[in-house]
Amino acid sequence: MSVEQMLSQDFGTLAEVIGQQAKERADKHALVDAKSTMTYGQLDAFMDRMATALQREGVENQGVAAVCATSSVEYGATFFGILRAGAAVAPLAPSSTPEGLVGMLKDCGAKVFFLDKGVSDALAGVADQITAQRVALDGSDAGIPLTQWLAPEGSKPKPVTVTPQQAFNIIYSSGTTGTPKGIVQPHQMRWGQIRRGVYREDAVTMISTPLYSNTTLVSYLPTLSNGGTAVLMPKFDAEQFLKLSQQYRATHAMLVPVQYRRLMERPDFDSYDLSSYVMKFSTSAPFAAALKADVLKRWPGGLIEYYGMTEGGGSCGLAAHEFPDKLHTVGRPLPGHDIRLIDEDLKEVPQGKIGEVVGRSGAMMVGYHNQPGKTSEAEWYSPEGLRYIRTGDVGVFDADGFLTLMDRKKDMIISGGFNVFPSEVEQVLWSHPAVQDCAVIGVPDEKWGEAVKAVVELKPGAAVAADELIHLAKEKLGGVKAPTSVDFIAVLPRSPVGKVLKKDLRAPYWAGHDRKI
């Protein structure tokens, strides 16, 4: 059966598809980084050795293996090798606290832990709390060197049967608050993503976000399943990204909005040959309409923004190159995705009314690992008894079916009884030529309950008075929604995938107050 035939089936496994890719294009580069490359033939053989070694260590079908390291060919191949053993991958963020990593390792129950020296050094103070076998992907003293730990060349693992609802990966995400929750995504969910047909065998995809992020995986996995080449960057650097794109004639990239901004603001951006690009994608954080317009104007190829959650549910897509008049939206629900809006009483609201976004599709998490209560809180059931995932986002559909996001429910500001959606204010402030980025938050106010505050990051060398930004907002939005104060900050705090951490911004203002920040 060919790869094309395999991908036309209602269900299959990524490990099987890679095996077939190795038969059809054994010598083609599958993975590339700054130090090495790996062909499909080599990847398939590596996966066999990895799966055999995992089974040797007691990681059987439906087991778990964890990975925490910077992106590399070895990391990329290890992800697929774990899947071939029938185990779930638990990719962990190196930016997590040592205590957080220990907690996630215990929660997922991983018997084998793949890491590199940077992570090992960070874990030095809690190393005695880690019971999983440590394997060093970079050959360092972080654990048993990978080359020694792998099963011998030519090894073949015991065959496994994988079911559609079996765990594919466990991604730990706390969003911007709380204890990390293990989001269990099944094989059926990933199978639907890799069959979308966006990537072909001639795809060369830039992978510049970390492999523990769902943002990365929705681009990385279909690139390989469809026979393309993934160029892995250990860390995003705008200049290096442009050089590699030109060198490898990149066709696709998944970037978060802050990365687009850093690329587009480079004075030498237009000097790079990016004519090979077919499509670019974005997700994970609000994408300013003006920035989308700049990307469309100056960067060849199409631009698609995806809106959705790691937990799955309903997703939207905006083909910005097809709908340049809808850049303020996140697009329409994807085919097979049902998105509805509900009010505070969990009742569906009509078109044109604001409500919390809930969604349903074939791409939905099984639940939060070992947290049935949290799973229940994240679900909404329609009057027909259908299960939806709650996003915590507030939005509104226009007459054409395009979704405009207002904000996270917890970020909405209630000032004097009026609801203020920070994103509305941020869009106005972004339009000022001196503003590089901004975040609008609610701060305590004795008279109004909450007051609107803007925290602004200026462009290098730029200057603007707070009163000028406040006046701009008043002029565009009126006095209720305009900030009453503006703070300037060198760099806004962000998560590793570019989300502004409003919780961190709010914390000092709400110390001693009772708002759940």
User: Is residue 47 located within the same domain as residue 104?
Assistant: yes
Answer whether residue 462 is part of any domain: yes
CATH assignment at residue 499: 3.30.300.30
Q: What share of the chain is helix, strand, coil (3-state, %, to 5)?
A: 30, 25, 40
Please report whether residue 400 resides in a domain.
yes
d(CA 293, CA 274): 17
- Within this chain, do residues 61 and 132 fall inside the same structural domain, yes or no? yes
The distance from CA 78 to its chain's CA centroid, rounded to whole angstroms, is 20
Contact (CB, 8 A) for 472 and 465:
no
| 472 and 377 in a common domain | no
Residue 516 lies in a domain: no
Quick one: pLDDT at residue 357? 97
pLDDT at 179: 64
Residues 444 and 313 in one domain: no
Pair (99, 132) in one structural domain: yes
Output the domain CATH number for residue 183: 3.40.50.980
Assess whether 22 and 157 both reside in one domain. yes
Q: Are residues 365 and 430 in the same domain?
A: no
What count of other Cβ atoms lies within 10 Å of the Cβ of residue 405? 19
386 and 429 co-located in one domain: no
* Alpha helix segments (H runs only) across 133-209: 146-149, 187-194
DSSP-derived secondary structure letter, 181: E
Q: Does residue 274 lie in a domain region?
A: no
Report pLDDT for 106: 96
Could you tell me if 393 and 448 lie in one domain?
A: no
| Residues near 81 by beta carbon (within 8 Å), at least 6 away in sequence | 46, 47, 48, 49, 50, 51, 54
- Is 1 a domain residue? no
The answer as to whether 282 is a domain residue is no
Is 261 contained in some domain?
no
Give me the count of residues in the chain. 517
Residues of the chain scoring pLDDT < 70: 174-179, 514-517
Write down the pLDDT at residue 177. Answer: 43
Report pLDDT for 447: 85
Q: Tell me, yes or no, whether 328 lies in a domain.
A: yes
Q: What is the pLDDT of residue 419?
A: 86
Q: pLDDT tens, 95-110?
A: 889 999 999 999 999 9
Residue 400: give its domain's CATH number: 2.30.38.10
Final residue belonging to a domain, choices 407, 431, 460: 407
Q: Are residues 33 and 182 in the same domain?
A: yes
Query: Among the residues of 109-186, which ranges form H helices?
Result: 117-122, 146-149
Domain boundary, last residue among 352, 373, 407: 407
Contacts of 277 (CB under 8 A, 6+ apart): 245, 250, 251, 252, 253, 299, 300, 301
CA distance 27 to 32: 13
Based on the domain organization, do 425 and 402 belong to the same domain? Answer: no
* Domain of residue 394, residue span: 308-407
- The whole-number pLDDT of residue 418 equals 86
Given 390, 407, 424, which residue is the final one in a domain? 407
For the chain, the domain total comes to: 3
Question: Within this chain, do residues 85 and 23 fall inside the same structural domain, yes or no?
Answer: yes
